[in-house]
Chain A
Amino acid sequence: LQQQEEGSLRKSALCIHVATSLGVECGQGRLTSALLLTGEQQGKMEKGDVNAWDGVLAHLETLEMRAHEAAMKQQEKELHQEKLARLKARVKELRLQRDELRAKVDLQEKKQLEKEGAMSDPAQASPKTVLQWKIKSLQGMLQVFYVTGISGKLTRQGVCFCISTAYEGTYLDSYYLDLLTKSEVQIYRHSVPSFIPLEQIAKQYLQTDIRRFLSVLSDHLNAYVGRRYQADQLQEHFSDQIKGTLQRNSLCNLLIFNYNVSSKSKTFPFNVRLLYGDLCRSLPTEVIVSCTSDTPASLTETATAHSDLFHHVPLHKAFRSFSSTGETMD
Chain B
Amino acid sequence: MDAAVAEYIRRTVQKIPRSEIKVMLQKWGFLPEQQLQTINFDQLKRNIVRDVFLLCEKIPGNIKEAAVLDMIYNHAYPNKRTWEVYHLIATGKESEYFDIIDFKKKIKRKLRSSLGNVTINFREYEDNAVWIRIAWGAPYRKPNQYKPSYVVYHSYTPYVFISSSVHSSNFPLLCQALLAATGSHDMRAMQLQGHCLNSLKDTVFKRDKNIQTYSEPLQEYSVEPESDLRLVQENRKTQQKIQRMNQQFFGDGPLPKLEYAQYKLETMFKSNPKQDVLHQKEPFRCLVKFSSPDLLESVKSLAATSMVDAPLSPLLTSIPCRPRNLFRIKEK
Docked Cα-Cα span, A250 to B126, in Å, equals 9
Q: Judging by beta carbons under 8 Å apart, are A187 and B98 in contact? A: no
Q: Is B157 an interface residue (CB 8 A)?
A: yes
**Contact flag A249-B99 (CB < 8 Å), given A191-B211, A194-B157, A195-B157:** yes
In the complex, chain A residues whose CB is within 8 Å of the CB of B140 = none
In the complex, chain A residues whose CB is within 8 Å of the CB of B217 = 153, 155
New A-B contacts (10) at CB < 8 Å, excluding given A162-B215, A193-B207, A250-B155: A155-B217, A160-B214, A193-B128, A194-B154, A249-B99, A249-B100, A250-B98, A250-B128, A251-B155, A251-B156
Q: Judging by beta carbons under 8 Å apart, are A190 and B214 in contact? A: no
Chain B residue nearest to A160 (CB atoms) is: B215
Within 157-199 of A, Cβ neighbours of B (below 8 Å) are at 160, 162, 174, 176, 178, 187-197
Q: Is A309 an interface residue (CB 8 A)?
A: no
Q: Judging by beta carbons under 8 Å apart, are A249 and B155 in contact? A: yes
Docked Cα-Cα span, A192 to B207, in Å, equals 7
Interface residues of B (CB under 8 A from A): 96-101, 128, 154-157, 205-209, 211-212, 214-215, 217-218, 251, 253
In the complex, chain A residues whose CB is within 8 Å of the CB of B206 = 187, 189-190
Which of B96, B155, B211, B217 counts the most chain A CB atoms within 10 A? B211
Interface size class of A (residues with CB under 8 A): 20 to 34
Q: Give 7 closest A-B pairs by Cβ, nearest first.
A: A195-B156, A250-B128, A160-B215, A254-B97, A189-B208, A176-B211, A249-B98
Q: Judging by beta carbons under 8 Å apart, are B156 and A250 in contact? A: yes
**Contact flag A188-B97 (CB < 8 Å), given A249-B155, A251-B155:** no
Nearest-neighbour CB distance to chain B for A117, whole angstroms, equals: 32
Q: Judging by beta carbons under 8 Å apart, are A178 and B98 in contact? A: no
Q: Judging by beta carbons under 8 Å apart, are B211 and A189 in contact? A: yes
Q: Is A75 an interface residue (CB 8 A)?
A: no
Contact of A249 among B97, B207, B211, B215 (CB under 8 A): B97
Q: Is A39 an interface residue (CB 8 A)?
A: no
Contact of B155 among A155, A176, A190, A195 (CB under 8 A): A195
Q: Judging by beta carbons under 8 Å apart, are A156 and B215 in contact? A: no
Docked Cα-Cα span, A250 to B98, in Å, equals 8
Q: Is A247 an interface residue (CB 8 A)?
A: yes
In the complex, chain A residues whose CB is within 8 Å of the CB of B97 = 249, 253-254, 275
In the complex, chain B residues whose CB is within 8 Å of the CB of A277 = 96
Interface of B is mostly: loop
Q: Judging by beta carbons under 8 Å apart, are B211 and A254 in contact? A: no
Q: Judging by beta carbons under 8 Å apart, are B214 and A178 in contact? A: yes
What are the interface flags for A260-300 relative to B under an 8 Å C-beta threshold, 1 for contact and 0 otherwise?
Answer: 00000000000000010100000000000000000000000
Docked Cα-Cα span, A120 to B154, in Å, equals 60
Chain A residue nearest to B159 (CB atoms) is: A194
Q: Judging by beta carbons under 8 Å apart, are B96 and A190 in contact? A: no
Q: Judging by beta carbons under 8 Å apart, are A195 and B154 in contact? A: yes
Q: Judging by beta carbons under 8 Å apart, are A197 and B156 in contact? A: yes
**Contact flag A178-B96 (CB < 8 Å), given A189-B253, A191-B207, A197-B156:** no
Nearest-neighbour CB distance to chain B for A63, whole angstroms, equals: 88
Q: Judging by beta carbons under 8 Å apart, are B253 and A176 in contact? A: no
Q: Judging by beta carbons under 8 Å apart, are B155 and A178 in contact? A: no
Docked Cα-Cα span, A176 to B96, in Å, equals 25
Q: Judging by beta carbons under 8 Å apart, are B208 and A250 in contact? A: no
Chain A residue nearest to B205 (CB atoms) is: A194
Contact of A189 among B96, B99, B154, B207 (CB under 8 A): B207
Q: Judging by beta carbons under 8 Å apart, are A176 and B212 in contact? A: yes
**Contact flag A254-B156 (CB < 8 Å), given A155-B217, A189-B207, A191-B209:** no
**Contact flag A155-B205 (CB < 8 Å), given A176-B211, A189-B253, A190-B211:** no
Nearest-neighbour CB distance to chain A for B207, whole angstroms, equals: 6
Q: Judging by beta carbons under 8 Å apart, are A190 and B154 in contact? A: no
Docked Cα-Cα span, A247 to B101, in Å, equals 9
In the complex, chain A residues whose CB is within 8 Å of the CB of B99 = 249, 254
In the complex, chain A residues whose CB is within 8 Å of the CB of B205 = 194
In the complex, chain A residues whose CB is within 8 Å of the CB of B156 = 194-197, 250-251
In the complex, chain B residues whose CB is within 8 Å of the CB of A156 = 218
Docked Cα-Cα span, A145 to B157, in Å, equals 32
**Contact flag A188-B251 (CB < 8 Å), given A176-B211, A251-B156:** yes
Nearest-neighbour CB distance to chain A for B35, whole angstroms, equals: 27
What are the interface flags for A182-224 relative to B under an 8 Å C-beta threshold, 1 for contact and 0 otherwise?
Answer: 0000011111111111000000000000000000000000000
Nearest-neighbour CB distance to chain B for A139, whole angstroms, equals: 16
- A sample of 27 cross-chain residue pairs with beta-carbon separation below 8 angstroms, ordered by A number, consists of A153-B215, A155-B215, A155-B217, A155-B218, A160-B211, A176-B212, A178-B208, A187-B206, A189-B208, A189-B211, A189-B214, A189-B253, A190-B206, A194-B156, A194-B157, A197-B156, A249-B97, A249-B98, A249-B99, A249-B100, A250-B98, A250-B128, A250-B155, A250-B156, A251-B156, A253-B96, A253-B97
